[in-house]
Structures are given as structure tokens and as C-alpha cells.
Amino acid sequence: MVQGVNLAGSFTLPGSSRSVNRMGYGAMQLAGRDGSKVVWGPPRDVEGAIDVLREAVASGVNHIDTADFYGPHVTNQIIRKALFPYPGGLVIGTKVGARRGEDGSWIPGLSREELTGAVHDNLRNLDLDVLDVVNLRSMFSVHQPAEGSIEAPLTVLAELQQKGLIRHIGLSNVTPAQIAEARRIAPIVCVQNHYNLAHRADDALIAGLARDGIAYVPFFPLGGFSPLQSGTLSEAASRLHATPMQVALAWLLRRSPNILVIPGTSSINHLRENLQAAALQVPAEVLADLDAVSRQDAAIPISQHE
């Protein structure tokens, strides 16, 4: 068990008294794989996945990111088995807006019926009466934000919120225009987008959200690095006697106080390494080297960790 995860500080969700430690946990990697179908079916070691979740919470993690389309249904069922009845203060955030094809594909699921069904699937599989945070996943492009109105699906979530099934609404894979559109419909507490040392398209967005007290939750902390950029990160890790992932996470935590990180893993050893990043001290000169990474070379995806 890792102590001191709260050294990363906490963040209070806007419009609420719910505070979460900025170092969280992403549950996507708890699902299994079936050939080319990723995030599909149960993991090889269900008991090991349960142990990872229990250790994360025992170490101070009180913010878990999941989705019922992981598996599908698998990660939520493992979360319930591992942690129910849930400890006080634990915030579980989920995503809706996508569904899975039989071939493992990621398909938009944004109709009123699909969104309502997805919320009820999350409630049932997590054994909850109300969901803490529901993020609407924009699916105009599966892998990156793309413009298009999200008014219709966001209105459905706002109605479900008014019915008491959702406490807070967030957004995932969205553009600034979509965030502005959503905020005219309902209060938004967080935004989840692809962002890391090498992928800095949301720099201005993060600053704007910080001014408004809205959380920013980056995913793929090591996705989108060129070999040169990866080399710079590895050199920094060597100087700090840390792993590249630890340095990437520490940089994110120091990037802005509204950033919440949700590294995922199915390994207890990797979980412990990730949590230790919350306490990693990064000297100013190393931060300067890391800040220059996004300007080096063209980004070529080499790994993805949500």
C-alpha cells in the first residue's frame, strides 16, 4: 500500500462539496482482450483486478473512472465486487455515448434510448441509486474531438440529472465549442480529453477551465510520443530515478491545479509506481526540459494508456 497519495492535493467538483484527490484510477485496463477485441470480456485474473482496486482505495484514491461499455459491463461489475459497499467519499465517474459492436468496435450510442439505457446499465452494474459523475463521450470521431452539436444527447443527460439519477455531468473527447454549448444546457464539472507532454492541443482550454473551476482529466499520458520525445522523457526519468510513466504523471499534476489524473493498470506493482508519482519532486530545470517536449519532432503514437 502506498501512503501519501494526497500529496498531489485535492480538487472540489464545482457546485458541490465533493472533493477528490487529484491522483485517481482509470478502470479501462481491468477488462480483458479477445484477439483483436480490446477492452473486451473479463480479465485473465479477476481476483487480481479486485486486489488492484482495493489497494488503490486503501492507498487514498477516491476517484475512479470507468464506463459500462468497458467489457462491456465487465469493469463496473468488478468495481462492485471489489468495493461494494463503497467507502464514504469515493467518487465513481462513468461515461456514456458509446456502445460496443460484436466485432469489438466502438459505435456511437447517443440516442435517447441508448443514453437512458446506458445510465441504467451503470446504475445496475455498480449497484448504485445515483451516479456521481456521468461524462458524455462525443463520438463524431472515435479517436479525437470533432465538431458537431451535442445539444440533443446532453439534454437527455440533463433530464436524467433532474430525475435524480445523475449528480454531476462531464464531457469527454470534446472541442471548446462543444463545451460552451454544453454549459448553456447544464453545469459541467469536468472535461476528459487526450492530453500529455507531447499532445498539448488543449493548453489554452485547460487554462480557461481552471479559471472557471472545472476539472480537466487527461487520458493517454504516454500516447502520441515520437522517439525523440520519448527519449527526452526517458532521460528525465533517469535523472529523477523514476519511470517515464511516473515523470509523465508528475508533470501533469504540476501542469495545472485543475488536472486530475486517472492512470490505469491491472498490476499492483504498476499501481504503486503510478501512485508514487504524486509525491515525485521535479526540479525546475527538468520541468523546463519536459515543457519543450511538445515542440520536438512530429508526434507518432507508440502507446495508449487511459
* Catalytic residue from among 70, 86, 195, 216: 70
Give CA–CA dist 20/228, Å, rounded. 35
**What cell numbers appear for 179 in the block?**
463545451
Cα 5 to Cα 18, 58, 158, 192, 215, distances in angstroms = 18, 10, 33, 21, 18
Our answer to whether residue 70 is catalytic in this structure is yes
Beta bridge partners of 134: 94, 169
Closest CA to 37 of 65, 64, 69, 67: 69
Pairing verdict, β 106-108 and 98-100 = antiparallel
3-class SS of residue 154: helix
Q: Are 11 and 215 in contact, with CB atoms under 8 Å apart?
A: yes
**What cell numbers appear for 138 in the block?**
462525443
CA atoms within 13 A on the CB side of 8: 34
Q: Are 301 and 144 in contact, with CB atoms under 8 Å apart?
A: no
Give CA–CA dist 77/85, Å, rounded. 13
Give CA–CA dist 38/29, Å, rounded. 9
- Which active-site residues does the annotation give? 70
